[in-house]
Amino acid sequence: MKALVLGGYGAVGALVVRFLREYGHTAIAAGRDPARADVRVDLRERGLRSYREAVARADVVVNAAGTEDPELIAAATGQGAAFVDATATASYIDAVERLDPKAPVLLSVGLAPGLTNLLAADLAASAPRPDPIDLAVLLGAGEAHGKAAEEWSFGLIGADFPDPVSGAPVRNFTAPRAFRLPGLGRRRLYRADFSDQHTLSRDLGVPVRTWFGLDSRAATRALAALTRLPAALRPRVPAGLHLPGSDAWTVFARSAHGSVSASGRGQSRGTAGMAALAAEVAVDLEPGVHHLHRALSLADAAGLPCVEVERAVLDVGGRH
């Protein structure tokens, strides 16, 4: 397989390239900087000339650049290449789902969405009856992330999103809920607009909602405080801000009948491992838009060296 990795020298993209090469595939790092890229691709070009030329030699495109443009998908699939995107933006996923691609497009391929989708689908399949599912995403505040990931995360502050079930507006980093996370104890997490809850509520036919926090309790509380401030009073978050914390991450799904979680070290590493696995699968899918929980199972992800899965004993009383 020949994969073109957009943002192929970034925090996630460089690891996607490394994983794919370890799996025996040809992985080409694409980006604007010719000193770091295998092939120079400028996604800002009119007509996407350099991108189209690079896609012509690829079986699959992995978008790790953070650029959310449906035209990238149309250009790739129009030439027969599959497309894999780790975006977590619900509005962008809505736009992609309205496309009619001539090759496979695989979405929800990171940690959240991605691994959270597999956790929820696995939990729903094992439950004796349909029950609401809560998703918890706890990320390490101490890991250095790429610019696109930082901008996406801080862009949630002060923004509203529609609840995936009721449609009522929800402010990011409000509506706290307590979770008891494996190995971490009780944590207070807040609602956040990850796309997994919207896709899963539709596909699984049960209410799914996502809560978010950082491993630093103080940093999590700071997000909750910032989101309540008027925009004019909200301090500008400096680029490259490094918060206290580790690089450990945990994603967790629970319902009234049990829970299942996955954890690892390095959010970028976990995202890249999931994206590389998705790229291998995407080339064999039918043309159209797919989500990871329709293409892979939790057992597939559990085989990755960067993911550790833990299940809780089912508890009919709903106590985890």
Q: Is residue 317 part of a domain?
A: no
- Stretch 257-263: mean pLDDT: 93
pLDDT, tens digit, 9 for 90 and up, residues 38-54:
999 999 999 999 999 99
Question: In CATH, what number is assigned to the domain containing residue 42?
Answer: 3.40.50.720
Give 107's contacts (C-beta < 8 A, 6+ positions apart): 85, 87, 93, 96, 113, 199, 289, 290, 291, 292
pLDDT, the chain, mean: 91
CA dist., res. 293 & res. 119, Å (int): 9
Tell me the pLDDT tens digit for each residue of 197-242.
999 999 999 999 999 999 999 989 988 998 988 876 676 665 555 6
Q: How far apart are CA 74 and CA 78, in angstroms?
A: 6
The sign of the dihedral angle between the CA atoms of 185, 296, 106, 40 is positive
Indicate the range of 73-82, 120-129, 201-210 predicted with least confidence.
Answer: 120-129
256 and 123 share a domain? yes
Lowest-confidence range among 133-147, 239-253, 278-292? 239-253
What does the radius of gyration of the chain's CA atoms come to, in whole angstroms?
19
Q: What is the pLDDT of residue 154?
A: 78
Domain with 75, as residue range(s), is: 2-110+271-297
115 to 81, 135, 275, 286, 307: CA distances (angstroms): 24, 11, 10, 22, 9
CATH number for the domain harbouring residue 162: 3.30.360
One domain for residues 65 and 22: yes
Instruction: Using pLDDT thresholds of 50, 70 and 90, give the confidence band for residue 257.
Output: confident
Query: Is the domain of 183 the same as that of 74?
Result: no
Distance in angstroms between the alpha carbons of the first and the last residue of the chain: 43
What is residue 241's predicted lDDT score, i.e. its pLDDT? 57
Residue that is written with structure tokens 């799914």 in the block: 208
- pLDDT, tens only, 301-310: 998 888 888 8
Q: How confident is the model at residue 127 (pLDDT cuts 50, 70, 90)?
A: confident
Largest Cα–Cα distance in the chain? Answer: 59
Looking at residue 122, its pLDDT comes to: 95
Tell me the C-alpha distance between 166 and 196, whole Å: 16
State yes or no: pLDDT of 298 exceeds 80: yes
105 & 136 share domain:
no
d(CA 313, CA 306) in angstroms, rounded, equals 24
Asked whether residue 86 falls in the same domain as residue 160, the answer is: no
Region 7-22: what's the mean pLDDT? 96
**Whole-number pLDDT of residue 314:** 45
Q: Inform me whether the pLDDT recorded for 27 exceeds 90.
A: yes
Amino acid of residue 317: G
Tokens read off for 199: 């896709």
The region of weakest confidence among 190-194, 244-248, 278-282 is: 244-248
With CA atoms as reference, report the closest residue to 31 among 44, 47, 18: 44
* Residues 284, 174 within the same domain: no
55 and 85 together in one domain: yes
